[in-house]
Structure 1
């Protein structure tokens, strides 16, 4: 997954962006040197352990490379960012919109997928009259409102016209369903008509998320064994499943005819 573009010298940036900002000014640096410089730039308190974890994550994603005991930005990643920025600038100046018919992305956790979906939702600038269809194997957004990503998901959903269906019907799904119904969101659970793939449909866009079987099994296990959602250890569930490292392909397709048919079939389940 390509890291979001960095805003130079912004003290409110994420810890990842701050690490990259530091290394764009001075390199190579040890983990301790990076931490010292990030701490001076950040408006929030960050621990050495947290920054070290960020550094190792950036190294694992080939954004940083090691030079002996020190770190610097991977020139190949910098080239990719430069190429993307140049292409974006050209398209913006020409007012040209570029939509490849099919694009595959790979994410390393369920949480990363959810963060991507929030970013996508924001970029679509959907309003109250815009229609979305969602097919998801379980409902979980209301479980995690302690995290900004899911608060943003909520705002996106109530700000547009959503039709969401799920084949599952567990106490947690029913609890989430009750939450959405209070807000007037079109949600149905226990719907056997689904394609077996988690997907979002908007206008001509179809986003398909292919969660690996082991992740789906872990989620199913928690949902099946939880009779009282109020007793669910939400933080533990999130940490062990939603942040678990894995490989999740996401396929984005642009096909107006197929998207329209999928949306209409989903809407028909609500008698509309």
Structure 2
């Protein structure tokens, strides 16, 4: 334990306390010898004795037959004070934490889906669990994932709590919702959410942006009365096309994520 600046810059007193935090009890003579040997302090025995007397009178030290040692009550108060300062500094740093936003651009939507799965895996690996809420304009079509990606998703699902909130309620969306529910995902239709695609993954907030052209194409593909009319091949071709360029911003902010969920 190193004590600094608690005794008006008195180096001798600080070094005496440091010595006695490592080895105790020590006689005045041993303290005097070790101050010279370990710290190369140029000091007389009389000055050492005076410093010990002042530390004893201020109840920093105790004096026993065997020699001097730190006062237990003083040490406990110092530890409590140190913890209080540490907590206050940590709280101050937390309040001053700068929230940074990262932006990623993907040439098509398929590339984003690959990134999204990898991001989910990384969070599960780090946090051991994943609480997700996705806001979608249309219910996501689950079968754009490859068999390999589906296998990876199933592997992490036991550690995932996942809710998808969908703005538009239609036959195709309800069919997609059924597929997701079979995988353990909770799907809710709620027209009150915004048009923006937003995702919450633990403390991370993702905003996903695509062009108006891609949004219209997606809406058109869901504008059907019979799910058998859904053009799977066209959908996969579309989301692999550069016109479905996807831009994502990511920010980690627990307070904001909890507020927006």
Task: Please give the TM-score of this superposition, normalised by the length of structure 2.
Answer: 0.55
Whether 2:120 is the aligned partner of 1:115: answer no
Q: Which has the higher helix share?
A: 2
Q: Could you report, residue by residue, the CA deviation over 1:112-143 in whole angstroms, capped at 9, with x for unpaired residues?
A: 11111011111111688532111111223423
For the residues of structure 1 that align with 2:154 and 2:225, how far apart are their CA atoms?
24
Q: Could you report, residue by residue, the CA deviation over 1:192-220 in whole angstroms, capped at 9, with x for unpaired residues?
A: 22232112112221011011111010000
Shift of 1:156: 4.4
* Paired residue secondary structure (1:227): coil
Please name the residue that 1:44 is paired with.
Answer: none
Unpaired runs of at least 5, structure 2 = 1-97
Whether 2:217 is the aligned partner of 1:212: answer no
For the residues of structure 2 that align with 1:185 and 1:220, how far apart are their CA atoms?
22
Please name the residue that 1:262 is paired with.
Answer: 260
Shift of 1:229: 2.1
Residue 154 and residue 198 in structure 1: after superposition, are their counterparts in 2 closer, same or farther (change >3 A)?
farther
Q: Is the 8 A contact 1:141 1:153 kept in 2?
A: no
Q: Is the 8 A contact 1:206 1:255 kept in 2?
A: yes
| 228-237 or 166-175, larger mean C-alpha shift | 228-237
For the residues of structure 1 that align with 2:153 and 2:136, how far apart are their CA atoms?
14
The count of aligned residue pairs is 162
For the residues of structure 2 that align with 1:173 and 1:214, how far apart are their CA atoms?
20
For the residues of structure 1 that align with 2:151 and 2:144, how far apart are their CA atoms?
8
Alignment match of 1:242 (pick from 236, 239, 244): 239
Q: Could you report, residue by residue, the CA deviation over 1:68-91 in whole angstroms, capped at 9, with x for unpaired residues?
A: xxxxxxxxxxxxxxxxxxxxxxxx
Shift of 1:174: 0.4
For the residues of structure 2 that align with 1:100 and 1:203, how far apart are their CA atoms?
15
Q: Could you report, residue by residue, the CA deviation over 1:10-31 in whole angstroms, capped at 9, with x for unpaired residues?
A: xxxxxxxxxxxxxxxxxxxxxx
Alignment match of 2:225 (pick from 219, 224, 227): 227
Shift of 1:169: 1.2
Q: Which has the larger radius of gyration?
A: 2
For the residues of structure 1 that align with 2:184 and 2:121, how far apart are their CA atoms?
21
Please name the residue that 2:19 is paired with.
Answer: none
Q: Is the 8 A contact 2:221 2:231 kept in 1?
A: no
User: Residues 94-105 of structure 1: matches in 2 within 5 Å?
Assistant: 101-105=100-104
Please name the residue that 1:40 is paired with.
Answer: none
Please name the residue that 1:32 is paired with.
Answer: none
CA RMSD of aligned residues (A): 2.5
Please name the residue that 1:132 is paired with.
Answer: 132
* Paired residue secondary structure (2:242): coil
Q: Is the 8 A contact 1:177 1:187 kept in 2?
A: yes
Residue 193 and residue 182 in structure 1: after superposition, are their counterparts in 2 closer, same or farther (change >3 A)?
same
* Paired residue secondary structure (2:260): helix
For the residues of structure 1 that align with 2:197 and 2:155, how far apart are their CA atoms?
20
Unpaired runs of at least 5, structure 1 = 1-98, 264-272
